[in-house]
Chain A
Amino acid sequence: MTQALIDSQAPIDSRAPGSAQAALSAAETLAGGTLFRFATAGSVDDGKSTLVGRLLHDSKAVLADQLDAVTRTSTERGFGGAAGGIDFALLTDGLRAEREQGITIDVAYRYFATNRRSFILADCPGHVQYTRNMVTGATTADAVIMLIDARKGVLEQTRRHLSVVRLLRVPHIIVAVNKIDLLGYDEAAYTGIADAVRTVTGELGLGAVHVIPVSALAGDNVVDRSPRTPWYTGPSLLELLETLPVVDEVESALESFRLPVQLVLRPQGAVAVPAADAPAFRDYRAYAGQVTSGTVRVGDAVTVLPGGAGTVVTGIDFAGTELTEAFAPQSIALRLRDDLDIARGAVIGAAGTLPNPTKELTAALFWLDPRPLTPGDRVLVKFGANTVQAIVTAVTGRLNLDTLEQETATSLDINDIGHVTVRLAAALPVETFASSRRSGAFLVIHPQDGATLAAGIVTAAGIVTASGVPA
């Protein structure tokens, strides 16, 4: 399948509309295959929405009525002759204000499938004013496509988004050097930009990045490799998206078992099972949550925090089905051997693996609110199923987006990426983001109006003891 994609510049048969076999096999993928989440990033007007529109269109994911509507609107708004007169950005720029201004304001989520994979794509805004929405799209992404306008190269916003992506530890970064049509598909011009990109990603300590020359408008190297860039020998954007490994699944399987308890299931007679079975559930008690990492099996020894008590898993329930094991990201209910005092906010982990609860931590924050952060500010932080009061005790630095180095700072303003120390009102089993992307992230919330002020990642916390029991 991939081979056919690479060799042929003609429309690919299996994706042709009306090809029942292709649609059905894509449908199989939609139901059963891997789910891959990716987001776009980059400066305003770099062509992110046009690119995802082109990707959707060329992979036959745009249905006839949507295409009609977009074609009509493109004509009404006087979009030029290129790309058959269709402004592909309109496929995701769905808000009235977005269409009027020709920019993306908030993330649009779109869903499509090829024969190999199902995708959830988040088309993010590039405008600095809407960085919070870009962060929203990037936090759940398996891959980020960072766009660069070939005429402009790396801009401040490119560096900001790359810094966000690095701190979020997004597994894959694809840099799409866009509008290559405007440079006459010139190899030398492209190579210059690709080198500049690699310098910046190197400075940021980002690992391998994939760089692709594309034209979102003309469709070069988006789904098919383009004959207009014969000097480019790598994969097309879609080929890359179809084959990048799903890191999350592998990573979380390697980590220790964690279950933040969302709520306790204790029906006490108010059961939804047949009356004959009801007596068996009179004393039913289980701890419901979504496994954040690792695997748990019936019979496993676990530790519960707070308290640090040890017990054994006696059952794993999923809506009436008893499982022998469960793993991330399953939502389950766990039964335990001992009657412990466990409520929402407790964390159940593989015995001896939970960190020592701590009230002190250092963190990196993406500050997303127009009100600045100053030391001494009281906030709420949300970790998993725990929301606790906290004080930001110090602002210790801020990323300078020109030099990509830390500079001293005494406050954080909107869109700053800064470092802080935080004191919590209650000790929590905090884990670093470096050790787990699933357990080391938190929200900073305004205590009065409830606004989400920042995305936080833990850079250092308490020391892990061998027993998992608080010292």
Chain B
Amino acid sequence: MRTPPVNATDTASPIRATGTHRLSQLDVLESEAIHIIREVVAEFERPVLLFSGGKDSVVVLHLAAKAFWPGRVPFPLLHVDTGHNFPEVIAFRDETVERLGLRLEVARVQDYIDDGRLHERADGTRNPLQTLPLLDAIAAGRHDAVFGGARRDEDKARAKERILSLRDEFGQWDPRNQRPELWNLYNGRHTVGQHVRAFPISNWTELNVWRYIEREQIALPPLYYAHDREVYRRDGMWRSVGPVSMPRATETIENRTVRYRTVGDMSCTGAVESDAASVDAVVREVALSTITERGATRADDRISEAAMEDRKKDGYF
């Protein structure tokens, strides 16, 4: 198998200033994302970035750092912690925040369960429970713009969403009545109580993200790369053995070399078998994959044909 050539100049200088004036695809996507981030910061009073430590939010944070260099990223980060997150991802999240000298707000699903505002679901997944703490945190922080790392290639409902997506005071997305989005002129006007979700990497694919991580040498939580883990098989996915994801009597624990393509709740995110231990190996693996990122790894999207759409309508990211 051929190793994709790594362009040395790519890493040194992100812009290829060739005489032909041709920007690479990553350069075009990067500049588009920086433009969006700057527009939102210029037009909104209190933006916040949803930061989970997952690869997409890490890339958005990296882009924000580039957009405002040599200044600091001019907005805080927000994480909705389900209490079922992978410990190594939380550790990575905290290290990153510390390194960049940023402020992180954490909204905890566990707090809501403890005091009865939310109830644990029968299936044990807490992904859908994130919406209420998220909306409360947006209201409490009086955030009028919320950056997210969602990409249109992730899901058929996300494929329909605008780059600047208006939400009503209940955080609801109305897919039948979205604002036109014309050229690269983003309309951030909103009324009291409304807010906007901004998705700077809407047009990036999973492969673009990995290519960019490779080019920019961006650090990620270690579980994105191949490692040995105790897992068991459920719904066609490898689940990690942990306090919130114990195997049933019929499921056997095995030791496998796996990696994660997405990082969400331990209770509903699956690992894929992989020996891609480095970023270039992951790039190759993603390029050859015959199954989508969410299809391979997310149990919560299999609930119904329109699981993502339904969650988004209710205010989910």
Contact = CB atoms under 8 A, between A and B. Distances in A.
A211 interface: no
Interface string B14-43: 110100011111111111101100110110
A31 B24 contact: yes
B21 A263 contact: no
B189 A445 contact: yes
Q: Nearest 6 CB-CB pairs, A to B?
A: A94-B156, A450-B189, A27-B287, A65-B295, A267-B71, A319-B66
B250 interface: no
Contacts of A99: 305
Interface in A65-117: 65-66, 69, 73, 92, 94-97, 99, 105-111
B2 interface: yes
Contact of A267 (B22, B70, B156, B202): B70
A443 B182 contact: yes
Interface stretch (A143-151, A325-333, A405-413, A423-431): A325-333
Interface stretch (B115-123, B130-138, B205-213, B225-233): B205-213
Interface in B238-296: 283-284, 286-292, 295-296
A441 B186 CA distance: 12
A253 interface: yes
Contacts of A273: 69-70
A247 interface: no
Interface in A176-207: none
Most buried by A among B71, B101, B211: B71
Given A32-B25, A66-B292, A443-B187, A284 B182 contact: no
Main SS class of interface, A: mixed
Interface stretch (A134-142, A152-160, A215-223): A134-142
B146 interface: no
A389 B193 CA distance: 23
Given A27-B207, A63-B289, A330-B15, A271 B185 contact: no
A206 B42 CA distance: 39
B159 A452 contact: no
A24 B182 contact: no
Nearest to B38: A262
A329 B28 contact: yes
Nearest to B188: A450
B12 to A, nearest CB: 8
A417 interface: no
A108 B72 contact: no
Nearest to B68: A265
Contacts of B72: 267, 270-272
B24 A32 contact: yes
Interface stretch (A1-9, A15-23, A231-239, A394-402): A15-23
A232 to B, nearest CB: 32
A295 interface: yes
Interface stretch (B45-53, B86-94, B106-114, B171-179): B171-179
Given A27-B287, A272-B70, A452-B179, A327 B21 contact: yes
14 contacts: A20-B288, A23-B287, A27-B288, A30-B211, A34-B25, A97-B176, A249-B21, A263-B38, A272-B72, A284-B70, A320-B66, A320-B70, A333-B69, A455-B183
Contact of B71 (A18, A270, A324, A385): A270
Contacts, number: 242
B190 interface: yes
Contacts of B286: 27
B70 A24 contact: no
B155 to A, nearest CB: 8
Given A249-B21, A272-B65, A452 B28 contact: no
Given A249-B21, A450-B189, A30 B205 contact: yes
A29 to B, nearest CB: 8
Contacts of A20: 1, 288
A94 B187 contact: no
A208 interface: no
Interface of B: 1-2, 4, 7, 13-15, 17, 21-32, 34-35, 38-39, 41-42, 65-73, 100-101, 152-153, 155-157, 159-160, 162, 175-176, 178-185, 187, 189-191, 202-203, 205, 207-208, 211, 283-284, 286-292, 295-296, 305-306, 309-310
Contact of A329 (B31, B208, B295): B31
A35 interface: yes
Contacts of B191: 448-450
B295 to A, nearest CB: 3
A288 to B, nearest CB: 6
Nearest to A267: B71
B183 A382 contact: no
A450 B296 CA distance: 40
Most buried by B among A28, A140, A288, A384: A288
B159 A109 contact: yes
Interface residues of A, number: 91
Given A66-B295, A455-B180, A30 B207 contact: yes
A12 to B, nearest CB: 17
A133 interface: yes
Contacts of B65: 272, 319
Contacts of A449: 189, 191
A317 B68 CA distance: 11
Given A65-B295, A135-B182, A267-B72, A331 B38 contact: yes
A110 B67 contact: no
Contacts of B22: 34, 249
Contacts of A240: none
A319 B23 contact: no
A378 to B, nearest CB: 14
B211 A318 contact: no
Contacts of B207: 27, 30-31
B302 to A, nearest CB: 9
B180 A135 contact: yes
Contacts of A266: 71
A326 B16 CA distance: 10
Contacts of A443: 182, 185, 187
Contacts of B100: 272
Contacts of A225: none
Contacts of A18: 290
Most buried by A among B38, B101, B292: B38
Given A35-B25, A383-B185, 13 more contacts: A24-B284, A24-B288, A35-B29, A92-B156, A94-B160, A139-B183, A140-B183, A265-B70, A271-B72, A272-B65, A290-B184, A317-B69, A450-B190
A464 B245 CA distance: 68
